[in-house]
Amino acid sequence: MSECIRTGEIRLRAESLGVAFRKLVVRGGSGVRALYFHLGFQLGLHEGRRVNSEKREELHYRSNAFKKEVSRILREQGFAEAEVLGVNIFKKEIKVRIYEGFESDYMTPSNEPACYFTRGFLEGLIEGLTGLKIKESAEVKCRARGDPYCEMIFNL
């Protein structure tokens, strides 16, 4: 029995997933984009709740721990290298920058932001880690549009 089956993991190559996403988005349009977002959200929510149950105190009282955990999860899941730029309690805003995300690499060129799954995953992950609902999120920069990185803002 393979190691992945024993650990309950499924491993996909980012290239394969990116190419599949691109082909389906081209054929299915906004409905497929919404599906990707919600799939990402559910996976992120599950992962965030799992990690929260293990590290609740550390995550809730130390913003650096929260920032490191978000970056670690995205890297370990193979989605992207990420940096949480800021957690602004007064503005109720979290800003995340994504470098080398699998979606933007394969959705290029695009006239609009392309990281639906990743934005959904982050939205679910943040909710799962913090217990706070995201009211709105937006990808304000995207490598698929020619920006040097992807940047997302999450409003609590």
Enumerate the domain spans of the chain: 12-155
Architecture of the CATH domain 12-155: 2-Layer Sandwich (3.30)
- pLDDT tens per residue across span 50-87: 998 887 766 665 678 888 999 999 988 888 889 999 88
Cβ(144)–Cβ(154) below 8 Å: no
CA torsion through residues 40, 47, 153, 84, sign: negative
This model's pTM is above 0.75 = yes
Encode 53-67: b = buried (16+ Cβ within 10 Å), e = exposed. Answer: eeeeeebeeeeeebb
List, in sequence order, the alpha helices (H) in 8-109: 14-28, 30-61, 63-77, 102-106
Contact (Cβ atoms closer than 8 angstroms) between residue 87 and residue 62: no
Please write the tens of the pLDDT for every residue from 39-58: 999 999 999 999 988 877 66
Name the pairing type of β-strands 136-141 and 150-155. antiparallel
Quick one: which of 78, 87, 61, 63 has its CA closest to 17? 78
Rounded distance between C-alpha atoms, residue 62 and residue 92, angstroms: 16
